[in-house]
Structures are given as structure tokens and as C-alpha cells.
Amino acid sequence: MWLASAVLVFAILSFNNMEENAMNNNAEKFEFPALPYAYNALEPYIDAQTMEIHYDRHHLAYFNNFLAAIKGTAAENMTLEQIFAKMSTFGDAVRNNGGGYYNHILFWNNLSPNGGKPSASLEKAINETFGSFDKFKELFGNAGKTRFGSGWAWLVVAPEKKLAIGSTPNQDNPLMDISPVKGTPILSLDVWEHAYYLKYQNKRPDYVEAFWNVVNWSDVNARFEAAMKK
């Protein structure tokens, strides 16, 4: 049991480090990090088959297509954050695949079989901004449930250091200059059909409700603190 826990912790730390390198370090090559838990770790809320297909096929395809899209261009020597900040100057291949590559890394980190709860500081910010934690869940959930077609729901720390909820289409994210909601993402929810259809079919609201059982609040808390210090 101790060894299994140590391996899981090591995997999560390695996954977070790879994400940070992709965002901030030109010297590091873009990498496709290992999933920080087993495919069945989020059962029964997210099934193992969906996780395997989502990670091994969809996410990996975004990664490979992103590398192909930036090969031989100026973007090859930029960080993801730099690319996203100038996304309006890039074509759809970089926009869609770069977003898909990063968004899924964040999403996997935002999930955990261990759950947890918001830190005192994040809970205070949620209550001050949205009135209560239940109201926050309602508003965030609605951002995912009402996103037409494919896309994402986000909780971000906006530039003025306030929490905000929003959604984006396709693989856009709040770090992109073309995004209607801007800020540092700390919690994400993938509402593309491939994220839930095998288990929930057309019942996206059921998937959104199940999502709350596997939120990795330790990760969200850490992202909140880091964003507030920027």
C-alpha cells in the first residue's frame, strides 16, 4: 500500500513538472506526460474505457498534431503561454491542437480519485465572489451544461485577481488572446462528447454532476495560490 501511494505521488509530481516545463521553459521540448493515475481510478464517475480512449487517442492526437503544426515555425521556439498570448496570429491547426494539448494536461491534473476540498483561502474567495460554494457549483456546472456543442467550462483567476467562471468553444482556453473569458485557469471541465458519451450518452448534466466527485482540490488550491501571487 505504501509503495503504491508513493508511486502515485511521484507520477502526479512528474506530470505537474512536465506541464510547467511546457508552459514556461523554452529549453525543454514539449512532452506528452503519463496519466497520473490508472484508467479505472476515477470509477464509477468516469469509466476506464473513456479514460483510455480520451487519453491515448484524443489527447495524444492533439499533441502529435500540435508538434506537426509548429514544426519549422517561430512557434517551435516559444512556450505555450507565449503562443496562447498571440493565438490570434496563428492558424487553426495551432489553435485547436495547441489548446487540446494543454487543456487536457490541466484537466487530468484537476482530477483525482482522492477528491479533497477547497483550501480556506480558495473557499473564502469562492464565497466572496459567488455567494456560496453551492452557488459556485451551480454556476460552474451551468457553464458546462449550456456550452453549445463542444468546449470547456473554466474557473479562472482573472487579471484583477478575482475569480471568474466562463466557457470556451472547441479547444480554446482563457490564456488565449481570442478567448471571451481571460485569466489563469485553475479548474477545467471538458464537455466534448468524447469525454463522457460512452457512459452518459446524451446526459451531459449527469456527467457534470459526477465530475464533482473526482475534483482534485489539492491541485486547484495550488493553482489558485500560484495565480494570486503572479
Could you report the per-residue pLDDT of 136-152, keeping only the tens digit for each?
Answer: 999 999 999 999 999 99
Domain count, the chain: 2
* Nearest residue to 76 via CA among 64, 65, 67: 67
Computed over every residue of the chain, the mean pLDDT equals 91
Q: Which three cell numbers stand for residue 111?
A: 482530477
- The predicted pLDDT at position 110 comes to 98
For residue 90, being part of any structural domain is answered with yes
For residue 75, being part of any structural domain is answered with yes
Q: Looking at residues 116-140, what average pLDDT do you find? A: 98
Do 104 and 201 reside in the same domain of the chain? Answer: no
Do 124 and 105 reside in the same domain of the chain? Answer: no
The predicted model scores a pTM of: 0.88
In 59-132, alpha helices (H): 60-70, 80-85, 92-109, 120-130
Do 128 and 200 reside in the same domain of the chain? Answer: yes
Containing domain of residue 146, as a range? 120-229
Residue 57 has pLDDT above 60, yes or no: yes
Q: Which three cell numbers stand for residue 155?
A: 474557473
CB atoms within 10 A of CB 1: 5
Q: Which residues are CB-neighbours of 51 under 8 A, at least 6 positions away? A: 35, 39, 40, 42
For residue 41, being part of any structural domain is answered with no
Do 125 and 223 reside in the same domain of the chain? Answer: yes
Do 9 and 86 reside in the same domain of the chain? Answer: yes
Q: Looking at residues 169-196, what average pLDDT do you find? A: 98
- The predicted pLDDT at position 22 comes to 53
Q: Which residues are CB-neighbours of 80 under 8 A, at least 6 positions away? A: 22, 23, 30, 98, 101, 102, 175
